[in-house]
Structure 1
Amino acid sequence: MRQKLINKTEPQENNNLLRSSLAKNTITEEAISLQSLLFDSKISKEDWTEGLKYHSKTLTNLLLNNQIDQFNTYLQSQFGKEISQISHALTDLDYLPILQDLLQTAILIEHSTIPPYLTALYSIKDGTNVLASQIIRSVAVEEMLHMIMVCNVMNAVNIQPSVNQPQNYPTYPMKLPMNVDFFVGLETFSINSIATFIAIESPTNPLVKAPIFKHLSDSSILLSRKTLRENNFWTLENMKNFMMQNAHTIGEYYDVVFFYITVFQIIAYYKEHGTLPQNFVELNKGGIFIGDPAKQIRPEQYYGSGGKLYPVEALEGVILVFQEIKGQGEGADDSIFDIDASQFEEGVELAHFFRFKEVFHEHFYVGGDYRPFIDENGMMPVTTPPVGKPLPVDWSAAYPMKPNPKIADYQSNPSLLEQGKEFNITYKKLLDAIQAAVEGNAEELPKSIMYMYALKEQAIGLMSQPLDSQYNAGPTFEFPSN
């Protein structure tokens, strides 16, 4: 059960309650209504800024935390008046290119994590670091799941996802396409690479519940304190600029995407009915969700383990997908744990961020005494190290692969050059299988299992060979050249 961020109350009390539930001094007490934010073209920059802060966080928190009754009350309070001024630039705006941009970027984010995780995994020498290998492998598999579920969201709104074209390939080293200040690259298993993985999976909230087996009190919602840097007049394009300045984590990025999807669904409802939706049932189906259900990848068609795969045919499917992605990455219910407590170390599964911290600190979380780190509300900083039983790590038991290798590095070595090209062809075939599946040929998806096994063998073949006096070769994950 996900935590309740806002308690039930009567509709007339809803605005004050919603505002008081947010962190103090992050929004004005007199934020404009969602109706004005979306449809009034004459609002001021200040009103737009404060309204966007408030409504994007409120709407996202309510729906992604399953607070449907509270969302209905919120919606009725925001859409209770007749629309007097309509921004036709908004109602006539083609949502498809905007959502395509946002969702393809989400695919790129997920894709960008997979080669670094696989590189670190494959670099670990056989028979060593068994527990660390299991952790990295589990995360890599779940990132593949995330990428497929984002494809489900795209197909649900009738946008063809793309995972196997040159423009969909990450180029290392790189920054994730968010407001971050660190680089992601292809590196051998090391303290440095695991530290980078921790940065990738950083939670949005700075506090989590301590890992003990009882429910603790809810925490308040924390908002980003970044301010708007530039915006002359609000449009959806400017909204993206504003929102992306405040997306510092993968979870925050998905909040941006979810807000956009919901806004476009509201607009689609208005264009069809001439009125604004008053509850989740009205908003859930139809509207922008016009994609072919036959293109959805369903749980029985997915080969992976760890996490749940959700098809998407309405807004409720998007909620389940984003809950799964955010919960697996940074934790659910303000905890260190994943959404579903499937079997992992000590019978529970941790979010990616905390799994990588276990490897980095060479200890498990579960079973540790965190009382010195806990505040009066039972919360502890996400920076708290795991202090449970030891997780042995041999940092020297990994191939000394050159960071961020390129095929061009192997031009003087025909054998390495051929092996590097073969690896990239195999990886492209894996992506081709996924692409075929999300185009409506789900029977192609199991082929990626065969390619995953081949990738490991080919990667080890590269990593076990010297490139120069300091480094060994390694996989490059580049788009195959002719």
Structure 2
Amino acid sequence: MATRVLDYESDAIVQLMSVAEEDWTEQELKDALQRAIMLELSTIPPYATALWSITDPDNSKPVRHTIREIVFDEMSHFGLVCNMLTRIGGTVVLTDPLTVPKYPGQLPGGVNPGLEVFLSGLSRDSAALFAEIEKPEHPLAFAADGNTIGAFYQRIADVFPKFAHLLTGGQQVDFPLGSGHGAGNDIVPMNTLDDVLSAIHVIQAQGEGTTASPENPFPGAPGELAHYYAFKEIAVGRKLVRDEQTGKFDFTGADVPLPDTSPVGRVPQGGWANSPGNEPDAATAELLHTFNQQYSDMLRALEAAWGPGEEDIFPAIGLMGAMRRTAQKINAVKLPIDPRFTYGPEWLFVPA
């Protein structure tokens, strides 16, 4: 029973969450894992676009370091879920035009309904968007609302034991990221149910923290916050601190200044050619196409890495570096209509 091709813009996750746990079938579980892969993939373009807009290349600087580590976390989450899907006999689908992320637009599957995800340079607004993407069911600093990614992963964790007998085969990628980015970041094979449940716990905790602490329990460095709280600090411009008297957390600490950035404008639906007056000239169009081709080739390389040929993940990693370099060239080109802003990468899929 192979993975079905699922439309990125459908509300399939909402539909899956409405199915009682005892009624889930093997197909529902495979669909859920494919949806989770699409969710993880959907966060990387907006986060990376913001990261690559920062002009200081020093990865040790606070805000750049924070966003870069989160991007690596999302990559490891993506890899762990791909391993879950292929281990139970599913196929990772990344290059069907129906499955690729669409921007601006909502998250795949109907998660966090009404939230429009856009591509732009780093700003307080984009950081606030990222915090909303990562928002827990019960954040320690604010009231909860909406359907969350963490709740979806919890449903997968609750259902998976029923299908543990399916963990019998399929291409597994084993790639060490933990030494540089935290103990939970190794992409490891899903050989047992414990492997699966541990991986889901890492994904949830790195994104949302725990019910007791906003810290990432699998950090690359001590004191690293879970994604939601880290992005919220950047959005609010203040560090998250705990009131010693009340025990409550709030964003009332030291200032969190934004780094210098290229002022990348919001990328329009379908790319810059659809922005009247900002249609790119030939040289800029070539840069945009180069990036889109590199992105599409990266998706093909990732799909191949989890395919039957047992290819490795290094070609995809190399393409990610090439994308960064191309994006920075794009970010240097001012928009014709409003030169206060620059072009940014479009992340459009180019079919083979």
TM-score (norm 1): 0.61
Equivalence for 2:314: 446
Please name the residue that 2:329 is paired with: 461
Query: Partner of 2:3 in structure 1?
Result: none
Amino acid at match of 1:480: V
Q: Are 1:96 and 1:159, in contact at CA under 8 Å, matched by a contact in 2?
A: no
- C-alpha separation in 1, matches of 2:219 and 2:64: 20
What one-letter code is carried by the residue in structure 1 that aligns with 2:125?
N
Give 1:391's aligned residue. 256
Shift of 1:327: 0.7
After the TM superposition, which residues 96-245 of structure 1 pair with which residues of structure 2 at under 5 Å, given as runs? 96-126=26-56, 130-176=61-107, 177=109, 178-207=111-140
Distance 1:207 1:189 in 2: 25
Aligned partners of 2:54, 2:175: CA distance in 1, in Å? Answer: 31
* Contact 2:106–2:113, Cα closer than 8 Å, also in 1: yes
Distance change (3 Å), C-alpha of 1:300 and 1:119 = closer
The answer on 1:422 being equivalent to 2:352 is no
Contact 1:357–1:386 (8 Å) recurs in 2 = no
Code of the residue aligned with 1:183 in structure 2: it is E
Larger radius of gyration: 1
Aligned partners of 1:195 and 1:201: how far apart in 2? Answer: 10
The alpha-carbon distance between structure 1 residues 352 and 301, as it changes in their structure 2 partners (threshold 3 A), is closer
Tell me by how many angstroms 1:290 deviates: 2.8
Q: In the TM superposition, what is the alpha-carbon distance from 1:331 to its structure 2 partner?
A: 0.6
What is the CA RMSD across the aligned residues, in angstroms?
A: 3.0
1:216 corresponding residue in structure 2: none
CA distance in 2, matches of 1:422, 1:148: 25
1:354 pairs with 229, 232, 237, which one?
229
Contact 1:423 1:458 in 2 (8 A): yes
My pick for the range that moved more, 126-135 or 151-160, is 126-135
1:481, distance to aligned residue in structure 2 (A):
5.3
Gaps of 5+ in 2: 1-16
Tell me, in whole angstroms, the C-alpha distance in 2 between the residues paired with 1:165 and 1:304: 32
The whole-number CA distance in structure 2 between the counterparts of 1:300 and 1:125 is 28
SS across alignment from 2:135: coil
Would the aligned equivalents of 1:361 and 1:386 in 2 still touch at CA under 8 Å? no
CA contact (8 A) 1:302 1:445 kept: no
2:243 maps to 1:370: yes
Matched residue count:
322
> Following TM superposition, by how much is the alpha carbon of 1:163 offset from its aligned partner in structure 2, in angstroms?
2.3
Percent identity of the aligned residues?
28
Measured in 2, the distance between the counterparts of 1:403 and 1:190 equals 11
Q: Which residue of 1 aligns with 2:14?
A: none
Give the deviation of 1:259 after TM superposition: 2.6
Partner of 1:288: 166
Alignment-derived partner of residue 305 in structure 1? 181
**Residue in structure 2 matched with residue 254 of structure 1 by the alignment:** 153
Pair 1:423–1:373, CA change in 2 (3 A): farther
8 Å contact 1:301–1:442 — kept in the other structure?
Answer: no
Distance 1:121 1:341 in 2: 19
Distance 2:351 2:305 in 1: 24
Query: How far, CA to CA, are the matches of 1:182 and 1:361 in structure 2?
Result: 18
Distance 1:100 1:467, change over 3 A: same
1:452 positional shift: 2.0
Q: 2:173 touches 2:312 (CA, 8 Å); kept in 1?
A: no
List aligned pairs for 1:328-347, cutoff 5 A: 328-332=206-210, 334-343=212-221, 347=222
Question: Which of residues 265, 271, 274 in structure 2 aligns to 1:402?
Answer: 265
- One-letter code of the match for 1:329? G
Against the structure 1 CA distance between its residues 399 and 301, is the aligned structure 2 distance closer, same or farther, given a 3 Å change threshold? closer
Per the TM alignment, residue 441 of structure 1 is displaced from its structure 2 partner at its CA by 5.3
1:96-135 per-position Cα deviation (integer Å, ceiling 9, x unaligned)? 3322221111111111110000111111223589321111
Deviations 1:124-166 (A, max 9, x none): 2235893211111111111111111110110121111122332
Q: Which stretch of the first structure deviates more once superposed, 160-169 or 113-122?
A: 160-169
Q: Tell me: CA distance 1:473–1:412, structure 2 relative to 1, closer, same or farther (3 Å).
A: closer
Specify whether residues 141 and 155 from structure 1 end up closer, same or farther in structure 2 by C-alpha distance, changes over 3 A only.
same
Q: How many angstroms apart in 2 are the aligned matches of 1:445 and 1:196? A: 30
1:325–1:127 Cα change, 3 Å: closer
Is the 8 Å Cα contact of residues 156 and 290 (structure 1) preserved in structure 2?
yes
If the length of structure 2 is used for normalisation, what is the TM-score? 0.81
Give distance in 2, aligned partners of 1:301 and 1:141. 8
Residues 178 and 186 of structure 2 are in contact (CA less than 8 Å); yes or no, is this contact kept in structure 1? Answer: no
One-letter amino acid of the structure 2 residue matched with residue 474 of structure 1 = G
Query: What letter matches 1:125 in structure 2?
Result: T
1:206 maps to amino acid: P
Q: Report the 3-state secondary structure (helix = DSSP H, G, I; strand = E; otherwise coil) of the residue aligned with 2:166.
A: coil
